[in-house]
Structure 1
Amino acid sequence: MDRRSFVADSVGATAGLALGSSHTVGSAHVAELREGLRSLYTLDDAYGGDAVRSLAVRHLCRIRRVINTASYPETISRQLLLLAGETAEQCAWLHYDAGEQSIARQYWGEALTTATMLRDDSLEILVLTGLSMQAIHEDRPREGYDLARAARARAVPFGSPALLSLIASREARALAHMGDHGGARSRLADSFRMADRADRGRPAPEWAAFHSHAEVDFVQGLLYDEAGRHKAAVPFLRAALARQDRAYGRNRALYRLTLARSLAQAGEAEEAAAEALGSLEHLAEVESGRVVRRLGEVRDLLAAGGAAARASAEALTDHLP
């Protein structure tokens, strides 16, 4: 897929359709703007936050302009405000993925304000799970756990096992970072069980479509890896990579590099180098701050190894900024 053509066709095309000649907005215009958000989800899954965040910001500005300059009935007003909140949340996620945490926090705050104003539980769950992930990333695990629990309280009435599985995996990571490894194992077991039941309850919301058995395997691998049990992490990370749909290019790159990191830390430098070099095929298109940081970690581990590992590290260096 040619990224520039895809962007022009799927996101840019909505620019001319946001307002009719009468400047009166109806359901068709809202549908076009929502399709633009769906395209941003697809681009993010394939390429990562670095490449897409500017598009998302422009799309949010477009929606704000419609809200502030067009005419529309009250039913359309709520749809536009909700769409603005969802797009602000996507801007937050993309900036998080790109490593711009303060900007991500601002957009998540905007989205949470919108969710509160509209009393929209679905958007609030989306924002709370995002803020939980960021808090764990920034070494605030207690806050991350509390945010995930708040998301779970709102998600239970939805009756979506896939959504509850996602939230349980966030709780597990927070508990592990808090040092409660027994609690983390218990919540991750719950996440696996709910993932097994994903086809029996209500489907997950569109934004949670990425969550699957692959994601739960990846979290299990991370828990072992972060506990220093690198060999135990390897089979779960391999399973995550094998299970991950190829449409999720950014996640596949991240999974493979995380596998390479665990192999290197487990003393399997040759396998680690093979996985790391194999990940370079993904990096031709993926632009994600998280992926680049993981690549740097693997490069540094290989650079401290033998001659063959150091040669692989030099090849990886060419793909670092």
Structure 2
Amino acid sequence: MTSSKVTSSQPMPTRPPRPNLVFRELRGQRSPAEFAAAVRRAAREIGERVSCDARYVGRVEAGEIRCPNYAYERVFLHMFPGRALTDLGFAPRASVRGRRAQVPGEAHGGHEPYETQDPQNTHDPFGHHEIHALHETYEESDVLRRAFMTGGGATMAAASMGQMGLAFDAAAADRPARRPGTSDVCAVEEAVRRIRLLDDRHGADGLYRRASTPLRAAYALLDAGATRQATADRLHSGAGELAISVGWLAHDSGRFDDARSHYAEALATARMTGDDGLEAHAFCNTAFLARDAGRPREAVRAAQAAQRVGRPLGSARLMSLLALREAGGWAGLADRTGCEQALVRAQTLYERGRSDADPEWMSFYGEAELEGLEAQCWSTLGDWTRAARHARRAAQLQDPHFTRNIALYTAELADDLARGGRPDEAAAAGMRVLDLLDQVQSSRIQTMLAGTARVLLPHRRASGVSGFLERHSSLPRTA
């Protein structure tokens, strides 16, 4: 029997999802990751912005997403002209509108749950379409709707994270006796995606402190304990991934001790639950942190540990990235042979292509990142010419969506050019980074630029160098 009082925070009765076989047939021979990339390309063709990845494609095909939001609808209809949503295997929108269980006699409101009151509102700084891209189904937790319906650019990103944290806190405080369910798991998983999206576009500074709030709430949900084992497993995995995401924000903003603590927390969670994928991810980030913190031998060992636990997962791309983490450690130890061997292994594994086994968190890892990480290795080894070549290629290859990475690779290029005796080119690259700093807030990038400026000081008479130095000196200093 259902209660006579139904609130918006109560989920609808669950029913087994019906797989979307039509959508699976439309994907054809492409892997979920390859199809997701095609969806993102199609979105850009019509001016939409969606954060489609292999997991989203899997959820559609499994029937978990019965009807896409409006942004995805426009993209899918662009990809398959002449078809309606129902021709793509989706349910009619009217049949899934809202997620409230209806009280007899109660009518739906006038707006979709994730529709803004004014669809043409040009004052929304985060962008109407981007809001929809963060809500992949009408059947998600109300926590997400409250948390993510506001936001903004580089300045508003931090405020958006703050609202997300408050929503999580409120959810945990209001329901201390209730066991966590699927909606709570979805909220944790969406928080991970949200952090990654904001970091890709704006960098870590300003996000870290606010991101720790949903992390505390996620671990409070773990303490409450889920009734179903499947829910508990997803919650542990989601909380671990959230710890890694928050750890990365600490890492990128120069808070290495905090990052180390978050990565260790994720590693402990992975080992308690036997989650090899989470453990490999935690070791991967630990290796990266150790390299940046000046502990190259620890970086090598952590990367090797990640490869041991990650090998059975069957993802060549994961093993490629882990080989690059190892290469970075060998470079820090000035072991050129060890570094080169790891780089060759990384390239060989990368060329095997994507697969269904690739983890969702690896969506950032493409050819641009491969080039960028190799540039860092050669830079550490002092081969400035080779480092600059790879850094330039990384910046050219990077998807415009990843604003932070474009700034990072260009900053790497500027530094390599400066140290390689090409001050005019270095200044030009540095200027391009400065142009991006109104969108990107990353202590890592600012530290790299400061190093480049010091190297260029003796060359201030070279073309463009004085202009770069003057503009750089006027930057507000981060705390």
Closer, same or farther: CA 7–73 of 1 in aligned 2, 3 Å: farther
Give the conservation status (yes or no) of the 8 Å contact 2:248–2:259: yes
For the pair 1:8 / 2:8, whether they are aligned, the reply is no
Give the conservation status (yes or no) of the 8 Å contact 1:160–1:198: no
Which protein has the bigger helix share?
Answer: 1
The residue that corresponds to 1:184 in the other structure is: 339
Greater CA drift, 157-166 or 79-88: 79-88
**Secondary structure class of the residue paired with 1:188:** helix
Give the conservation status (yes or no) of the 8 Å contact 2:191–2:242: no
**Secondary structure class of the residue paired with 1:143:** helix
Distance 1:84 1:112 in 2: 11
* AA of the residue aligned to 2:359: P
Closer, same or farther: CA 186–76 of 1 in aligned 2, 3 Å: same
Distance 1:78 1:114 in 2: 11
Deviation of 1:217 (Å)? 1.1
Give the conservation status (yes or no) of the 8 Å contact 2:291–2:299: yes
Deviation of 1:320 (Å)? 4.5
Q: TM-score, normalised by structure 1?
A: 0.91
Unpaired segments ≥5 residues, structure 1: none
Distance 1:108 1:116 in 2: 12
Deviation of 1:18 (Å)? 6.4
Closer, same or farther: CA 244–130 of 1 in aligned 2, 3 Å: same
Closer, same or farther: CA 229–68 of 1 in aligned 2, 3 Å: closer
Distance 2:157 2:298 in 1: 41
For the pair 1:205 / 2:359, whether they are aligned, the reply is yes
The residue that corresponds to 2:471 in the other structure is: 315
Deviations 1:214-261 (A, max 9, x none): 112112222222222212222211111011112222211111011011
1:166 to 321, 325, 331: 321
**Secondary structure class of the residue paired with 1:197:** coil
Aligned length in residues: 320
For the pair 1:113 / 2:280, whether they are aligned, the reply is no
2:182 to 19, 27, 46: 27
Cα RMSD, aligned residues only:
2.3
For the pair 1:233 / 2:365, whether they are aligned, the reply is no
Distance 1:304 1:191 in 2: 38
Deviations 1:17-47 (A, max 9, x none): 6688783432123112211221111111111
For the pair 1:254 / 2:398, whether they are aligned, the reply is no
For the pair 1:279 / 2:433, whether they are aligned, the reply is yes
1:302 to 453, 456, 461: 456
Greater CA drift, 57-66 or 114-123: 57-66
Give the conservation status (yes or no) of the 8 Å contact 2:225–2:232: no
Deviations 1:173-221 (A, max 9, x none): 111222221221121111112222223x334211122112111211222
Identity fraction in percent: 28
* AA of the residue aligned to 1:233: A
Distance 2:317 2:412 in 1: 24
Give the conservation status (yes or no) of the 8 Å contact 1:257–1:279: yes
Deviations 1:71-108 (A, max 9, x none): 64443233323322221121111101110111111111
Unpaired segments ≥5 residues, structure 2: 1-125, 127-151
Give the conservation status (yes or no) of the 8 Å contact 1:148–1:170: yes
Give the conservation status (yes or no) of the 8 Å contact 2:165–2:213: no
The residue that corresponds to 1:270 in the other structure is: 424
Distance 1:44 1:106 in 2: 20
The residue that corresponds to 2:375 in the other structure is: 221
Closer, same or farther: CA 5–293 of 1 in aligned 2, 3 Å: closer
Distance 2:320 2:270 in 1: 22
Q: TM-score, normalised by structure 2?
A: 0.62
Identify which of structures 1 and 2 has the higher relative contact order when contacts are C-alpha pairs closer than 8 Å and 6+ apart. 1
For the pair 1:152 / 2:307, whether they are aligned, the reply is yes
For the pair 1:51 / 2:206, whether they are aligned, the reply is yes
Structure showing greater radius of gyration is: 2
Deviation of 1:5 (Å)? 6.8
**Following superposition of structure 1 onto structure 2, how do residues 86-165 of structure 1 map, counting pairs within 5 Å?**
86-165=241-320
Greater CA drift, 212-221 or 119-128: 212-221
Give the conservation status (yes or no) of the 8 Å contact 2:180–2:224: no
Greater CA drift, 79-88 or 248-257: 79-88
Deviation of 1:140 (Å)? 1.7
For the pair 1:40 / 2:195, whether they are aligned, the reply is yes
Give the conservation status (yes or no) of the 8 Å contact 1:52–1:94: yes
